[in-house]
Amino acid sequence: MSKLQVDQIRSFNRTVTRRIGVLEDSYLRRGRPLGEARLLFEIGPEGAGLGALRSRLGLDSGYLSRMLRSLETHGLASVDKLDGDARSRFATLTEKGRAEHAAYDALSDDLANSILEPLSPAAQDRLVAAMAEVERLLTAAAVTIGEEDANSADAQQCMALYIEELATRFEEGFDTSKGNSVSGSEFIRPHGSFLIARLDGSPAGCGAVRMLDAATAEIKRMWVAPSARGLGVAGRMLHKLEEIARELGAQTVYLDTNRALREAQSLYKRDGYAEIKPYNDNPYADHWFAKRL
């Protein structure tokens, strides 16, 4: 990153925080700072689990608890244990809290209109389009990708969604008993690795690599959740898997894909994979690729 890029981001942050009132003790003149107002908004009329609130807002447990206590003290929210799970807690808005939520909602619309009103229609469109692009890129930058246990609950959740999508997209459906099955132990170093992409703490994709022999690796289980598509997650996942394959000693990496997964084929070709003859007997594979690392 260049200093010019860093300076522009810092200037943007200062402009936005000043314009939307982040520095004010009483956000939108409702008597509480932005943090508490945002928490009230995120709880919403439907309520929310504390784990979900921590992930959504990127808060540690202590800070979240202090803000919730403040909302409770003012009669805006309540926190209760979920039935059947003493460890999980759920926040809901009181009647007063729901009225406060509605007031914030209306005032937030007013703030948005006050930003747009001085601009010409063309400038309004430019600003809204630029904001959408900034939001998309900030979301992409917030995605994390890391090695995790292939047998964990989150990994199994990703795999179940991956299989469900293949069954829908493949012309012949997808039967796990017919595909090239692999065990979770093959995705543990030094034999391989399993990656999970996370957005706001929740699983948003996965990918795996395993060693076929001392110099050859195979990439498997590449999948990105619909909510995270268009953010460059698949490309980042692929590059991370290649990096791990190098660390494990691979000089070449293989992968296969079905004819229905055209976007995957485009990604592989863009990243230097060349189509080769079949290297396995996967009944659902129509295209086989290889890349020298």
Query: Tell me: the pLDDT tens digits for 276-289?
Result: 999 999 999 999 99
CA nearest 250: which of 219, 278, 289, 207?
219
Q: What is the mean pLDDT of residues 46-73?
A: 93
- For residue range 190-228, what is the model confidence (pLDDT) as tens digits? 999 999 999 988 999 999 999 999 999 999 999 999 999
User: E-assigned strands of 73-171?
Assistant: 77-82, 85-93, 144-147
The per-residue pLDDT for range 127-158, each reduced to its tens digit, is: 999 999 999 999 999 999 999 999 999 999 99
* CA distance linking residue 275 with residue 290, whole number of Å: 7
CATH 1.10.10.10 correct for 3-118: yes
Q: Show Cβ contacts of residue 220 under 8 Å, excluding neighbours closer than 6 positions.
A: 182, 207, 208, 209, 210, 255
Residue 180 pLDDT exceeds 60: no
Domain ranges of the chain: 3-118, 144-292
Give residue 122's region: left, alpha or beta (phi > 0; psi -120 to 50).
alpha
Residue 293 has pLDDT above 80, yes or no: yes
Average pLDDT, the chain: 93
β-sheet bridge partners, residue 218? 210, 254
Q: Give residue 175's pLDDT band: very low, low, confident or very high (50, 70, 90).
A: confident
CATH topology of domain 144-292: Aminopeptidase (3.40.630)
Range from 45-54, 157-166, 173-182 carrying the lowest mean pLDDT: 173-182
Q: How far is CA 251 from CA 8, 110, 173, 218, 245, in A?
A: 41, 59, 34, 11, 8
Reply yes or no on whether the pLDDT at 182 is more than 70. no
Q: What is the predicted pLDDT for the residue at 86?
A: 56
* pLDDT tens per residue across span 225-236: 999 999 999 999
Residue 59 φ then ψ, to 5°: -110, 150
Predicted confidence at residue 201, as pLDDT, reads 85
Tokens 């494990």 belong to residue:
248
Q: For 73-107, how does the pLDDT look when each residue is reduced to its tens digit (9 = 90+)?
A: 999 999 998 776 656 899 999 999 999 999 999 99
Residue with tokens 């034999």: 191
Q: Which of 95, 118, 87, 93 is nearest to 42 (CA)?
A: 93
Paired tokens of 114: 């006050």
Contact call for residues 258 and 285 (beta carbons, < 8 A): yes
* Length in residues, the chain: 293
Dihedral sign for Cα atoms in the order 279, 285, 290, 293? negative
Q: Rounded to a whole number, what is the distance in angstroms from the first to the last CA of the chain?
A: 26
Supply the pLDDT for residue 179.
61
